[in-house]
Amino acid sequence: MNVLVIGGGGREHALVWKLKQSDLVNALLCAPGNAGIQEEATCFPVSPSDISGLLTLARERSVDMVVVGPEAPLVAGIIDRFAEAGIVAIGPTQSAARLEGSKAFAKEILKYSGAPTAEFEVFDEPGDALHALEGKAYPLVVKADGLAAGKGVLIVRDREEAEAAVRTIMVERAFGEAGSRIVLESFLEGEEASFIVLTDGETILPLASSQDHKRIHDGDQGPNTGGMGAYSPAPVVDEALHERIMKTVIEPVVETMNRRGTPFLGILYAGLMISDDIPYVLEFNVRMGDPETQPILFRMHGDLAETFNLLHYRQLHKARVSWPSDAALCVILASKGYPGIYEKGKVITGLEELTGRRDVKVFHAGTKKNAEGKIVTNGGRVLGVTALGPDLPTCREKAYLAVESIHFEGMVYRKDIGLRGIQRLSASQ
């Protein structure tokens, strides 16, 4: 098979790395890719938002299967376009991708499915939303309905902040069209976990659990980012909770999507808040997480290309993948200033020391080769240093040791990735 991966972040580097190991894959292509992906696949400068350009590329290169990394093309209907063209593309149709494309839609599906989620109200008019703020309990969560690159969720402490948030989203349209509708949601406390499954609408194949670290600073301080590190498995998701997530969230939601006539085929990611052992759904994504994909795939055994192919042909029950009882952890190295303004073009050194290791892999995100062939920074999240070990403390130590050999000007990273998981493990012993 010729396989095209769409995207250019750390998640896509991990997908490319894993797909490359498959005997079924002949040529591996990526659009647009990055400096790390370039080492493992042929990259083409086509943007993930240019669906027509991607179709042309896929036809020209006789692509047999397309794997879509980011959400925007899925929500824009890329899967439907490729299906019309007769090319296998992994992911939900546009109508099923609304689970991520509209938070109000996701909440309706959750409510209908009886899945645990925070109390909510949806508004189309700023006046109505402002009026509803009267008598609300604080903190309160104010969410833009549509895609906002992870920035459309504002947690407010009082009514004044809530009014400002409604205005920012609905009147000033800080997140554009995403803010034409708003969701007000009660604030939940607990521990977050990412629960990602593959499904063909019938069989549900849960991937290993994981935990992201969304805030920029240690101790979960500062603004939200795309994710500053992740590990897998997440000790908070023990066997009983895993079962509860499948029974109360994933299975009913997949069933509801079938019943509506919009079956969900692809990757379904539930962002959960675990509170008193109840898995409340904060959001759905219809793609792999970034950086969760890096540790999940680094420790996965099995053929990813075969698994995706089975998913597409609704034969997922035949998939043979497993996660032996080891752990993996990924530390994101970012550019100073991220998630705000940052500089690009800083030369990265020390990568070669880590190549060829079986237990450590540096997945590239915002990197490119400059005119002199040097690898330089090209984004907010730059690298994901990922290590495998028999347990969480060991892979954590390995990952941070590897981080020490890498340098670029303005490199920042969290020092506490995995600590919460380790604390939970020692508390349960």
Q: Is 303 in the site for ligand GLY (CB under 6 A)?
A: no
Using CB under 6 A, which of 69, 73, 271, 421 touches ligand AMP? 271
CB of 276 to ligand AMP, least distance (A): 14
For the chain, give the number of residues. Answer: 429
Q: Which does 289 bind (CB under 5 to 8 A by kind): ligand GLY, ligand AMP, none?
A: ligand GLY
Q: Is 153 in the site for ligand AMP (CB under 6 A)?
A: yes
Q: Is 227 in the site for ligand GLY (CB under 6 A)?
A: yes
Q: Kind of pairing, strands 360-364 and 266-275? A: unpaired
Considering beta carbons, is residue 214 or 346 the nearer one to ligand GLY?
214
Number of residues that bind ligand GLY (CB under 6 A): 7
Considering beta carbons, is residue 143 or 346 the nearer one to ligand AMP?
143
* Residues 6+ positions from 269 with CB-CB distance below 8 Å: 194, 195, 196, 284, 285, 286, 287, 288, 289, 292
CB 307 within 8 A of CB 321: yes
Q: Which does 292 bind (CB under 5 to 8 A by kind): ligand AMP, ligand GLY, none?
A: ligand GLY
Considering beta carbons, is residue 143 or 420 the nearer one to ligand AMP?
143
Q: Give per-residue burial for 314-337: e unless 16+ CB within 10 Å, then b.
A: eebeebeeebeebbbbbbbbbbee
Four-CA torsion 231, 233, 237, 241, nearest 10 degrees: 150
Among 180, 238, 230, smallest CA distance to 210 is for 230
From start to end of 226-366, where are the E strands?
A: 229-232, 266-275, 278-285, 327-335, 360-364
Using CB under 6 A, which of 145, 185, 292, 303 touches ligand GLY? 292
Which phi and psi (to 5°) does residue 160 adopt? Answer: -60, -45
The SS3 assignment for 417 reads coil
Contact segment (CB under 6 A) with ligand AMP among 185-193, 251-259, 333-341, 357-365 equals 185-193
Task: Measure the CA–CA gap between 301 and 67, rounded to whole angstroms.
Answer: 19
Considering beta carbons, is residue 368 or 381 the nearer one to ligand GLY?
381
Site for ligand AMP in 110-129 (CB under 6 A): 118
CB of 271 to ligand GLY, least distance (A): 7
The SS3 assignment for 167 reads helix
CB of 309 to ligand GLY, least distance (A): 24
Using CB under 6 A, which of 289, 366, 384, 389 touches ligand GLY? 289
Among 90, 56, 57, 52, smallest CA distance to 74 is for 90
Q: Cα dihedral sign for 5, 11, 13, 17?
A: negative
Q: Is 187 in the site for ligand AMP (CB under 6 A)?
A: yes
Using CB under 6 A, which of 72, 104, 141, 147 touches ligand AMP? 141
Q: Is 282 in the site for ligand AMP (CB under 6 A)?
A: yes
Contact segment (CB under 6 A) with ligand AMP among 184-192, 201-209, 231-239, 250-258 equals 184-192
CB 264 within 8 A of CB 369: no
Number of residues that bind ligand AMP (CB under 6 A): 13
Q: Is 146 in the site for ligand GLY (CB under 6 A)?
A: no
CB 15 within 8 A of CB 67: yes
Alpha helix ranges (H) inside 269-363? 293-298, 304-312
What's the CA angle centered on 370, arms 367 and 372, to 5 degrees?
140
Considering beta carbons, is residue 283 or 292 the nearer one to ligand AMP?
283
The 196-215 contact track toward ligand GLY, x by CB under 6 A, reads ----------------x---
Distances (CA, A) of 27 to 58, 111, 128, 297, 305: 12, 44, 54, 20, 12
Q: Which does 201 bind (CB under 5 to 8 A by kind): ligand AMP, ligand GLY, none?
A: none
Considering beta carbons, is residue 5 or 153 the nearer one to ligand AMP?
153
Q: Is 283 in the site for ligand AMP (CB under 6 A)?
A: yes
Among 116, 68, 326, smallest CA distance to 208 is for 326
Q: Which does 282 bind (CB under 5 to 8 A by kind): ligand GLY, ligand AMP, none?
A: ligand AMP
User: To which residue do tokens 């109840």 refer?
Assistant: 278
Q: Which does 12 bind (CB under 5 to 8 A by kind): ligand GLY, ligand AMP, none?
A: none
Q: Is 285 in the site for ligand GLY (CB under 6 A)?
A: yes
Binding site for ligand GLY (CB under 6 A): 212, 226-227, 285, 289-290, 292
Binding site for ligand AMP (CB under 6 A): 118, 141, 143, 153, 185, 187-188, 192, 214, 224, 271, 282-283
